[in-house]
Amino acid sequence: MSELAVGLTPVQRRTLDDLRRDGDVDPRLDEQLAADLRSQADDALGQLGARLDDVDLFVTKHTIASVLACETNYLAPDDFTWTPARARGKVSHRAIQLLLNWRGEPTPADLVNEALARLADDENSFGDYIAGLSSADEADVRGLAVERVTKFVECFPPLDRRWHPMTEASTQYPISGPIVFRARVDLVIGRPNGSEPRKVIVDLKSGRIVDRHREDLRFYALIETLCRGVPPRRLASFALDSGVAVVEDVTPVLLQSTLRRTLDAVARMVELRVDGRSPEVTPGPTCGWCQLLDGCEPGTARMARLHDPDAE
């Protein structure tokens, strides 16, 4: 680590400091922790899954955040469509994946061009979107992705292969069943040493870091612990626009509280989708981009207060 720091920019050194281990912190965690979490999760998922009546429920950070923020918004039809702004994340992540395994020193533009070419060959909705881009939209996506990849290169030190870096790393728990937790992590650095946590999970963000981003990372940490038996060491929400990481060490209390939050969200999903419970409307930060806002009185009232300079 100290040898690597030579020749780094100030922001790269700061990133390195944020991700490295603290010498005065005991890295060991009780080996029984993962087994206890897995037992609690399996018991709860078994009880909730028995109520699904052949309905499969895939639980992600997005569905958890949605049902806990506003149940009515969670049940709203999904009208998602790809746009250049939404596509830049997937394109830039693929470009960063290529960067970590590329021989030589490619430019961000080289990486993004190759990422676009490879993504266009994928047989899925995003591959179809990339393959069908107009010249103008393709240029828009390329420009947005190059900006993001350039900021990553400027903010992160070169990632040594001995650190086992991975991008777009997928995890799933359990292996099968009516209820499955799924996650896809932007960047993972390190691997466990026996039962000693050494992994760092990094979420790359544009703009500011909000509480939901930290909750997303905690969900990633929970699934990693359930799957591997060893939790990650640290979580980092990295704001590429400002070059700053918001870090948090993984503790037993964090994992236990995240499991309770996750199971609470799953219980709500089952109640709403299977039991037929009426959803509750909860105004909050998601109101600004909710497709139901025009017909939602609590939501429109909240937005009016936000734009009223005289409101308390």
**What letter would DSSP give residue 271?**
I
Q: Which of 214, 151, 243, 181 is closest to 45 using CA atoms?
A: 181
Dihedral (Cα; 284, 288, 290, 292), 10-degree rounding: 90
- Residue 127 is inside which H or E element, if any? helix 125-131
Is the confidence at residue 26, as pLDDT, over 80? no
Among 173-177, 270-274, 304-308, the minimum mean pLDDT is found in 304-308
Residue 194 φ/ψ region, left for φ over 0, alpha for ψ in the -120 to 50 degree band, beta for the rest: left
CB atoms within 10 A of CB 310: 5
Instruction: Compute the distance between CA of residue 263 and CA of residue 269 in angstroms, rounded to an integer.
Output: 10
Coil, strand, or helix at residue 177?
A: coil
Q: What percent of the chain has pLDDT over 90?
A: 74
Coil, strand, or helix at residue 6?
A: coil
Instruction: Compute the distance between CA of residue 60 and CA of residue 219 in angstroms, rounded to an integer.
Output: 9
C-alpha pair distances (Å), 287 with each of 133, 247, 292: 30, 28, 8
Band (pLDDT 50/70/90 cuts) for residue 291 is confident
Band (pLDDT 50/70/90 cuts) for residue 288 is confident
Identity at 229, one-letter amino acid code: G
What are the strands, taking DSSP E only, across 44-123?
A: 57-59
Residue pair 272/279 in contact (Cβ under 8 Å)? The answer is yes
Q: What is the pLDDT of residues 89-119, one digit of tens each?
A: 999 999 999 999 898 889 999 999 999 999 9
CB atoms within 10 A of CB 255: 22
Q: What is the pLDDT of residues 191-220, one digit of tens each?
A: 988 888 999 999 999 888 999 999 999 999
Q: What is the pLDDT of residues 34-61, one digit of tens each?
A: 999 999 999 999 999 999 988 899 999 9
Beta bridge partners of 108: none
pLDDT of residue 294: 86
Is the confidence at residue 3, as pLDDT, over 70? no
Residue that wins the pLDDT comparison between 22 and 135: 135
The pTM of the full predicted model, rounded to 2 decimals, is 0.91
Among 33-47, 76-90, 178-192, 240-254, the minimum mean pLDDT is found in 76-90
Is the confidence at residue 21, as pLDDT, over 80? no
C-alpha pair distances (Å), 18 with each of 27, 136, 260: 16, 39, 28
pLDDT of residue 234: 95
- CA of residue 292 relative to chain centroid, distance: 25
Beta bridge partners of 179: 57
Residue 210 has phi, psi (to 5 degrees) of: -120, 170
CB atoms within 10 A of CB 211: 8
Band (pLDDT 50/70/90 cuts) for residue 28 is low
- CA of residue 135 relative to chain centroid, distance: 30
Identity at 163, one-letter amino acid code: W
pLDDT of residue 310: 63
Coil, strand, or helix at residue 8?
A: coil
pLDDT of residue 242: 93
**What letter would DSSP give residue 193?**
B
Beta bridge partners of 201: 188, 235
Is the confidence at residue 1, as pLDDT, over 60? no
Q: Which of 239, 216, 224 is closest to 190 using CA atoms?
A: 224
Domain borders along the chain are 10-78+161-274, 84-155
Torsion sign over Cα 265, 270, 273, 277: negative
